[in-house]
Structure 1
């Protein structure tokens, strides 16, 4: 599949421009009842999806409420993400069953591949970028089925003012632009 293609469920869609990709993913999100209120986080989410990293939700962070920091929830492709509720149900009733072990194995493999792919994208992003450690984007595990992409400083509670929040948000925007350039060049 070429660099300008996106997979959504079973549908293969050729996307020839960033604007076309934006329209396509906005339509998908509206169909699923999801709305994006922050253009910058949408752009980063869109870029992640276009490089094969599924996203579930994002927030730009708020000084006056929670969450106080920006983040994006990362999930595997929809087929695998759909297995998580099934796994939770089976593990509660039959934790050592073949079905539970098979579903867990599928999820663990998908999450490992997803994490490695995201880590390689972050490694490429930071190869030529000097960024203070608190602003650097890192992957945080959320247990079975999802990761959170978040600034390192947010994990240890370094957010304290508008300037810091803006620096955290800017790092997401820069990562989104890096991914966008890698897709459309």
Structure 2
């Protein structure tokens, strides 16, 4: 943890954000292509084109893990985020893109709508899209969200050593390919 002092708070936050997503996606069987933290944090994965309800729940958990990892990193309890607040946050990401376009900023709204969530988008927006796919399998959208949020809250604690190991490597190198991230996860278990 002392090594984190050598990095800006943004690099530390982004590293843990992307590391949490990488661990959750890997444990769900989603291929990790690369993750990086220069400019802003990003992760590239290979999501199924048409996820099953279970895959959609796992993907939603991975999307939520990134932002919620910040609570664990800063030694705070992960709060129970009300469903209404979650939906409002997800909706605001798409609205922001539309507002930027209306102001003349170069946003290709058609392309934005066609791109799969793993290539562009806000974590909550992506999670909401995945929960929409899974909602019939768990008693509705809100029930899916509540179950996924509880899973993320639990698994962040259970998998923190893996998340920490990936984040440490990411801070050092700024970019990891999938095999490097997986190696860091495995080594943290020993």
* Richer in strand (by share): 1
Larger radius of gyration: 1
Q: Which has the higher contact order (CA 8 A, sep 6+)?
A: 2
- TM-score normalised over the length of structure 2: 0.28
* Richer in helix (by share): 2
- TM-score normalised over the length of structure 1: 0.29
